[in-house]
C-alpha cells in the first residue's frame, strides 16, 4: 500500500511533471488561457499517459532494450492519434480550438519519460497508478493555471465549458469582474509568469513543511535521549 501512497504523492506533488520535472511546458504555456482549454488538454494527456503506461508495462518483457524507445513512441503515437480522433468525434468545437496541441501530446516528454523511467520496470497496476497520478498532477496544474489566467486575464471562470462537457455546462460561466481585461495574462508571457508563480508557491509550501518537520525532529532528541537512557540501564 505504501508504494501507492508514494506514487500518489509523487505524481500530484513531490515529482509533479509540470512544476518539478518541468516537462510538457509547451502545451502547458500555450493552451492554459482558459479553464476549458486547460481541462480538455489535461484530460487528453491523462488518458494518453495512463494508456501508454499500461501498454508499456504489459509489453515490458517482450521488447529488447535497444528497440524499446521506438516501440514506446509507436504506442504513444497510437494513443495520441486515437485521442485526437475521439475528440474530433465527440468534442469537435474544442478540438478546433486546441488544434495542433492534441497531436503534439506525442512530444510531451512527460509521457515518454514515465514510460521509460517507470512503466517499463513495473507491473501493470503500479504503472497505471503512476500514469493516473502523473496525469492528474499535470492536468491539475493546467487547470489551476487556466483558472488563474482566465480569472485575472478576462475576468471570468468556466467560460465556454459546454465545448467540452456538452450543453449541460452552457450556463456555468461565472463573470467575476465584468468588462475587465488584463491582456498580459492571456498572452504567452503571462503563462510563463503564472507558471513561475506557481512553482515559487510550491517551493514556499515545501519549505514550510520542511521547517515544521525539522522543528518536530529538533524536539525529539530529548525523548530519544530518554529512550537511550532506558536502553543503557538495561
Partner 1 sequence: MTAPTQPPKRPMGRAILRSALSLGLFAIVTAGVVAGTRTLTFDRIADNRQASQYRVLKEVLPEALRDVPIEALLDNAVMLPASEAMGQHQPFRGWRVKRGDNAALLMPVVATGGYNGDIHLLVGVDQDGRVSGVRVTRHQETPGLGDKIERRKSDWITDFNGRSLEDPAPEGWEVTKDGGEFDAFTGATITPRAVVRAVKRSLEYVEAEGDSLFQADQEDQP
Q: Which residues are at the interface with partner 1 (CB under 8 A)?
A: 33, 59, 62-64, 66-67, 70-71, 74-75, 77-78, 81-82, 85-86, 88-90, 92-93, 96, 153-154, 181, 183, 186-187
Judged by beta carbon, residue 39 or residue 186, the one nearer partner 1 is 186
Burial class (CB in 10 A: 0-12, 13-18, 19+), 135: buried
Judged by beta carbon, residue 85 or residue 227, the one nearer partner 1 is 85
Judged by beta carbon, residue 67 or residue 168, the one nearer partner 1 is 67
**Angstrom distance (rounded) from CA 157 to CA 76:** 32
Judged by beta carbon, residue 89 or residue 233, the one nearer partner 1 is 89
CA distances from 98 to 31, 143, 205 (A): 7, 14, 32
Q: Residues 177, 159: contact at Cβ < 8 Å?
A: no
| DSSP 8-state secondary structure symbol assigned to residue 176 | S
Q: Residues 116, 69: contact at Cβ < 8 Å?
A: yes
Q: How far is the CB of 156 from partner 1 (least distance, A)?
A: 12
Burial class (CB in 10 A: 0-12, 13-18, 19+), 55: buried
Q: How far is the CB of 116 from partner 1 (least distance, A)?
A: 15
Q: How far is the CB of 24 from partner 1 (least distance, A)?
A: 21
Judged by beta carbon, residue 62 or residue 216, the one nearer partner 1 is 62
Q: How far is the CB of 25 from partner 1 (least distance, A)?
A: 19
Q: How far is the CB of 86 from partner 1 (least distance, A)?
A: 6
CA distances from 85 to 54, 90, 153, 234 (A): 20, 9, 31, 72
Q: Is 35 helix (H, G, I), strand (E, B) or coil?
A: helix
Q: How far is the CB of 2 from partner 1 (least distance, A)?
A: 34
Judged by beta carbon, residue 81 or residue 147, the one nearer partner 1 is 81
Amino acid at each position: 500500500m505504501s508504494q501507492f501512497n508514494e506514487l500518489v504523492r509523487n505524481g500530484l506533488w513531490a515529482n509533479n511533471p509540470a512544476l518539478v520535472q518541468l516537462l510538457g511546458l509547451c502545451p502547458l504555456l500555450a493552451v492554459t488561457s482558459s479553464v476549458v482549454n486547460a481541462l480538455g488538454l489535461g484530460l487528453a494527456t491523462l488518458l494518453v499517459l495512463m494508456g501508454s503506461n499500461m501498454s508499456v508495462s504489459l509489453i515490458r518483457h517482450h521488447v529488447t532494450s535497444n528497440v524499446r524507445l521506438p516501440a514506446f513512441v509507436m504506442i504513444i503515437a497510437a494513443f495520441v492519434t486515437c485521442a485526437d480522433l475521439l475528440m474530433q468525434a465527440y468534442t469537435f468545437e474544442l478540438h478546433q480550438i486546441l488544434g495542433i496541441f492534441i497531436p503534439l501530446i506525442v512530444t510531451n516528454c512527460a509521457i515518454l519519460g514515465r514510460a521509460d523511467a517507470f512503466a517499463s520496470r513495473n507491473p501493470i497496476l503500479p504503472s497505471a497508478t503512476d500514469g493516473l497520478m502523473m496525469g492528474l498532477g499535470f492536468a491539475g496544474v493546467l487547470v489551476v493555471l487556466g483558472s488563474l489566467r482566465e480569472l485575472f486575464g478576462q475576468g471570468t471562470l468556466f467560460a465556454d465549458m459546454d465545448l467540452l462537457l456538452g450543453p449541460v455546462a452552457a450556463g456555468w460561466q461565472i463573470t467575476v469582474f465584468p468588462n475587465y481585461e488584463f491582456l498580459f495574462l492571456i498572452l504567452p508571457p503571462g503563462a510563463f509568469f503564472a507558471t513561475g508563480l506557481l512553482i515559487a508557491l510550491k517551493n514556499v509550501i515545501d519549505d514550510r513543511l520542511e521547517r515544521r518537520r525539522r522543528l518536530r525532529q529538533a524536539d525529539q532528541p530529548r525523548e530519544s535521549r530518554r529512550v537511550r537512557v532506558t536502553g543503557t540501564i538495561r
